[in-house]
Chains A and B, each alone.
Chain A
Amino acid sequence: MNSFLDESVFTLNSGEWRALAPYLYLSAGLALATIAAGYRWSRAALRVLATIVLVPFMLALVWDLRVPPQFVFGTSLEVNALTRIAGALVSALALLSAFFTKSTEERDHPEWLLLLLTSVLGMSLLPGTRDWVSFFVALETLSIPAFILVALDTNREKSLQAGLKYLLMGAFASAILLMGIALFYGFSGSLDFEKTREMLSGPSPVGRALAVTAFLLVSVSLAFKVALAPFHMWAADVYQGSPTGVAAFLGTATKVSVFAGLMVMLQLTGAYALPEVVKVLMALSMISVVVGNLVALAQTKIRRMLAYSGVANAGYAGLAMAAGPESMTSVLVALGLYGAALICVLAWTESMISSSGRASHEDVAVSELGELLAPRSAWMVGSFALAIFSIAGLPPLPGFLGKYLLLQDIWRAGHVASAAVLVLGSLLGLAYYLRLFMPLFQAGTSAKSGTRASFGATFAGVLSTILLFAALLGFSRMTQWVEYVEGFAR
């Protein structure tokens, strides 16, 4: 097992080159974005560049899933089916949210694409990491650009405040993560996941408590990242403060990548064998389901409400995660569908706001939704409603299938309590999702023709609705597609 420092680790053979090719392409794209930022390209040009970079990257990743897994840089990174799929999902969500990321100034900061692509790179690599150093590096490349993205709208005090808040909380969480990693090193003498598994798999491994504490510290830090319950405080303010596109990106892509990374880490380090860790994860998720739904019930602003519904949905995924490694498929599918639906809702909110002449980052109150929705065409209201109901998890919509998969895996693991909490949560969630439509009932049909709807947001909305229904129709093939992941987890 080559140690971390000797140089053979860095001489890549042809297999490794082929495995890294998509990521290198992405890095090249990233560099190009830096140059584009320099020349202050227009918003449209940047979006075209984003498409040119991300679409080929996605295709390259999922072109041939039957390629055997390939270790790169010694054992620190493994590019297998799971990493590829997670990377593709993340970049898809990133691309969608890129379409309506903008700040209020005329010539906004073109470097947002650069930050976005860096974050995508970090997210797509995270599930592939096999030792703590690369795990930490991936996690940081993922979150640092995010801090800046949140503060993108420099002339809006709320955005800056949100960015700073996110930065401080992020730093705090990274500190806890490092503490955890240090404990791991102390426990297993090496930073490799495999090593921890060996140490743990002994009959009564010495320092078991040490390992458990390490796992908890890491889970707490990751829980912060995906805004699981006690650590979700930042979510609402960041969602409200950051530009809509960024909020969409953070709310969806981060969850997919961190959950995937966490589950892989837990599986590889044998954490699933430790009942304490599983119980903590289950507890965290349950709290976040209950707290997320209840607080969302009390919200009047849409983006804040969606933030807390995000916390609740993270809770649902957490419950499935705690149910065991086999639920990887359902977690990925559920979070993917939730992401697409959330982006659709945020895209339509953005296009409504821009068409009504309001400042784009104003958080719309639920009561004002009536006049905003009223003048829009039946199609737009229809797709907005379907996206909302998909997040709520009502049948025939894709969200329900995601939730059903989660329920299936929870039931397979026999966690009846979690199943009950999930069902209770979705019932509670119903209340505030339905409340979104009540102003629509009261609003008269005042056909106030707003200014031209922003092309980006509408395009993103339409695209995500199509994506949702494509997922619904191709659901059976999609689950087979992710079966490869199952192969890996067992």
Chain B
Amino acid sequence: MTLLFLALPFVGALVLFLLGKKARFAQVFNLVLQLAWLALMFFVHGQSREIAGNGGFPLVYSWKWLPQLKSSLSLGIDGLNLPLLWLTVILSLCLGLYAYGKDKLDGSYLGLFSVLNGATVGSLLAADALAFYIFWEFMLIPMYFLIGKWGSKNRVYAALKFFAMTMGGSLLMLLAIVALAFRPDVSDLGWHSLTQLALPWDGQWNSWQGLLFVGFFAAFAVKIPVWPLHTWLPDAHTEAPTGGSVILAGVLLKLGVYGLLRWCLPIVPQASMAAAPLMFALGVAGILLGSFAAWQQTDIKRLIAYSSVAHLGFMVLGVFSGNVEAMQGAVFQNIAHGLSTGAMFLIFGMIYDRTHSRELDAYGGFAKDHAWIATLFLVAVFASVGMPGLPGFVGEFLVLVGTFAVAPWTAVLASLGVLLGAVYMLTLVRKMMFGPTSSLVASHPVRLGWNEWAAILPLIALMLYLGFGAQTLLGLSETDLRELAVKLR
């Protein structure tokens, strides 16, 4: 069942490529594909309900595809990747709905999207280092084309920068995986055998643990992005088409954090904890400098992109503080940020489709005659600002509380991020939504079709539910993170 769930997007992509220029037909097929995928997701969830919640990383499928390379395509489901699977499926359904009726988004666009979904789900499910690496890299190709072909002005620069930086990082991970494959005590590259490796740790960085950590962390640091490696994010987000930005913010960034929790921390626990102080510094730098940069932006999408840098700084803190609360906070913030930033990009994408301008100063008084769109945008903004009652708060609160126990001053500096978040987000809302109606807004009324409403509402509903219903997610990943915390101590 899980294999079918993984294979469906790829098969769907082939058909979508076939449909090619016939946009409307492809969009309808894509909707059917996404619905089928959602149904499959229910089955997968049902099937893994009892095994997901209680720790370990239970394998649901395994095929020895490359015995000489000690690798087999083994898929597993547990509390860490189940929520992210749900997020991917829901976001891609929303984007399918959004794409309906837009002629520019033809068969090849949707096909590439479907391939991207398949690769993302593949790397989430993968319980084998090589399989994970293959899907991890595979995500780059469709994303490159999505940004390159359907992006806006200097999309080519953004696409190449995105590809090169991510590829640079992941090649180091490839070296780490090859090195692992050649240790005598590694029978196969499966997650279980790798995490049972008790690699000695004596504080040296050129020991096995040290180098493996550098290898794994490099790939995830570019993807998250951790502060100094983040400059591809604003370009990629700004130049990507709406669908690209949503899926990039909603899911691709999350894989960096997921990768840390799945592959980096369990395999090289002591090295990760030794690197924690540096990570705290980078995390805090990401939060503060990300927020300050967001405060300066005049391009709306760039502003939201820098806000992602700030939020992900929180997750880096959460992951590396090593206690259950902080890691739960990071995992929850993963979903919350995916929803809130995804919703913001989606809503602004719809506005952008009508007004074709990303300049903040050109907007004004949007809320006057677009009450509903403004309200939904505000819900997303306040979720991202960490307003209690919306999911953003639960994530950030857990991270701050968890990190304080380990590194008080880091947590105090990080809590500044909560304030700065309010500053730049509300500046965006004030300039865009309130004040006198600008000529651009007056001359381009934004009337959403049924499919666009249907695209936003699930995200907003999820956000409203998760604000208080946080326990559904926290319960899922509790045992897995407890085991990880024990290992990290």
Contacts and interface: CB of A to CB of B under 8 A. Distances in A.
Contacts, number: 89
Interface stretch (B50-58, B142-150, B350-358, B439-447): B142-150
B453 interface: no
A408 B182 contact: yes
What's the interface size class on A, roughly?
20 to 34
Nearest to B148: A441
A442 B155 CA distance: 10
Contacts of B296: none
B416 interface: no
A378 B20 CA distance: 7
Nearest to B171: A423
Interface in A388-446: 389, 394-396, 400-401, 404-405, 407-408, 411-412, 419-420, 423, 426-427, 430-431, 434-435, 437-438, 440-442
B181 A389 contact: no
Given A396-B134, A408-B178, A476-B65, A389 B107 contact: no
A382 interface: yes
A136 interface: no
Q: Is the interface of A mostly helix, strand, loop or mixed?
A: helix
B175 interface: yes
Contacts of A476: 64-68
Contact of B148 (A382, A423, A437): A437
Contact of B167 (A405, A412, A430, A437): A430
Contact of B17 (A382, A405, A434, A441): A382
Nearest to B17: A378
Contacts of B475: none
Contacts of A408: 69, 178, 181-182
B479 interface: no
A395 B134 contact: yes
Q: Is the interface of B mostly helix, strand, loop or mixed?
A: helix
Nearest to A329: B68
A475 interface: yes
Interface in B158-204: 159-160, 163-164, 167-168, 171-172, 174-175, 178-179, 181-182
A479 interface: yes
A394 B137 contact: yes
A437 B182 contact: no
Contacts of A475: 65-66
A39 interface: no
Contacts of B470: none
Contacts of B68: 476, 479-480
A408 B20 CA distance: 39
Contacts of B64: 476
B19 to A, nearest CB: 9
B156 interface: yes
Given A378-B17, A419-B178, A431-B160, A440 B149 contact: yes
B316 interface: no
B140 A411 contact: no
Nearest to A440: B149
B134 A400 contact: yes
Contacts of B65: 475-476
A395 B155 contact: no
A441 B168 contact: no
A426 B140 contact: no
Nearest to B119: A396
Interface string A437-463: 110111000000000000000000000
A363 B288 CA distance: 52
Contacts of B175: 407, 419-420, 423
B348 interface: no
Interface string B107-136: 110000000000000000000001001111
A475 B68 CA distance: 10
Contact of B138 (A382, A396, A480): A396
Interface string B59-81: 00000111111000000000000
B47 to A, nearest CB: 26
B39 interface: no
B32 interface: no
A423 B137 CA distance: 14
A441 B149 contact: yes
A378 B108 contact: yes
Given A400-B134, A430-B167, A438 B181 contact: no
Given A441-B149, A441-B155, A401 B66 contact: yes
Given A411-B182, A430-B164, 16 more contacts: A389-B141, A394-B137, A395-B134, A395-B138, A396-B137, A400-B134, A408-B69, A408-B181, A411-B178, A423-B174, A430-B167, A434-B159, A438-B148, A442-B156, A475-B65, A480-B68
7 contacts: A395-B134, A407-B178, A437-B145, A475-B66, A476-B65, A476-B66, A479-B68
